Amino acid sequence: MRGFGVWGQQLLFSRRVHAALAIGFCWIVAERAGSGEWLGKLVGCRQIRWSLPILPPEFRSSHCETASGWLAISKSIIERHMAVTRRRLLQRRPPDSNRAARTHLEGFAAYAAGECHLAENTVAAYRRDLERFVQWLDGRSIPALSIRELADYVGWLDARKLAAASIARHIVSLKVFFRYLQLEGVLRDNLAELLGSRKLWERVPKVLGVEQIERLFTAPGRSDPWWRRDRALLELLYATGCRASEISHLKLSDVHLDESYCICCGKGDKQRMVPLNSQAIEAFRAYLQAERPKLAARVSTPPDWALLSQRGKRLRRERIWELLKEYARRVGAPPEVSPHTLRHSFATHLLAGGADLRHVQEMLGHASIATTQIYTHVDLTRLKAVHRKFHPRA
């Protein structure tokens, strides 16, 4: 009975409807076994009756001092609970009309991150685009969609004043999503492949001049809370040509100041080696000696990231964007300046200095040299030199 008493008490203190039936059951066993001591404890344990909020007020009455009384109340509790459960089942909310589409979306996100090894930001972009698609579906079945309905989706995006580049990205996301559904056997044909997008004009990237960049580097001053970190951030962006997300995820172990290079992890987790100039090395060393130990001390475990936030965590790319905007405003730079502007400036200044296009492609981490060729149209000095050399009337 000792072991049964522990088990019975565990049942009694479980906040479930089963507690009512457990009490009655314990009464019968204890009464028939003749365990008067355990039975007395159960009867006298009135806090049990008050501590189970699921039990009705009848438990506080005095006639519940026999096994039959406890069993009767236990039976009524179970019946009452079953009636409530039946009512809830009958009054269930209507199912989510987009539940199937959202299930496919979650599966696609897991597939893109786990099997395709896409970058976190890429998966997040796909998810945002496809959330709009699920919103447009409004309960319709994906396999039942026609090409005309998918064309209406493009018009729906255009009606929401999305830019041509954003609409083109939404279409690409939809094509990739439908390919996944084909692999899963949900779709037989990928009708999204028939969708066309507007031709995007090839825009010449906007860059900063060398003098503007020099003024930008001096914008962080001693009045700023972490001015050495911010100056090291600006120097790294221009010295490496890295994206904001790459600088944000740059680990301290990947920065080799003595060898004058760092290892950046780009799209698709591709690593590349980028040289560091002497100004960037000096600024980063000053940050390492004066500010990073203070920031790292704000967290319990030593952080791996090279650039830390004021809370000692990884400096997010959104914060990098905000800092650059603030310092660009101080020096009078154009308001559209972003971290990618320093990347464009890095590539343009390298080509203007005579760097080979292939080397610039490697340092930028471009998969295709066609992406890098756009920078050959930015430097007017280079274009004028080519014009003077080869045009018959130059």
Q: Which amino acid is at 381?
A: T
Please confirm, yes or no, whether 366 is among the known catalytic residues. Answer: yes
- Torsion angle, alpha carbons of 65, 71, 74, 76, to 10: -110
Rounded Cα distance, 390 and 394, in Å? 8
| Phi, psi dihedrals of residue 227, rounded to the nearest 5° | -70, -30
Helix (H, G, I), strand (E, B) or coil at 210: helix
Q: Which residues pair with 273 in a beta bridge?
A: 263
| Phi, psi dihedrals of residue 271, rounded to the nearest 5° | -95, 145
- At 211, list the tokens: 């003098």
Distances in Å between the Cα of 46 and the Cα atoms of 36, 226, 343, 375 are 17, 63, 74, 83
Please confirm, yes or no, whether 377 is among the known catalytic residues. Answer: no
Candidates 170, 228, 314, 343; catalytic one: 343
Nearest to 137 by CA among 158, 163, 109, 156: 156
Candidates 126, 153, 238, 375; catalytic one: 375
Distances in Å between the Cα of 161 and the Cα atoms of 124, 167, 192, 214, 227 are 21, 10, 21, 38, 39
Candidates 243, 314, 344, 349; catalytic one: 243
Candidates 179, 215, 340, 382; catalytic one: 340
Candidates 81, 175, 366, 382; catalytic one: 366
Please confirm, yes or no, whether 340 is among the known catalytic residues. Answer: yes
In terms of C-beta density within 10 A (0-12 exposed, 13-18 middle, 19 or more buried), how is residue 141 classed?
exposed
Catalytic residue numbers read 243, 267, 340, 343, 366, 375
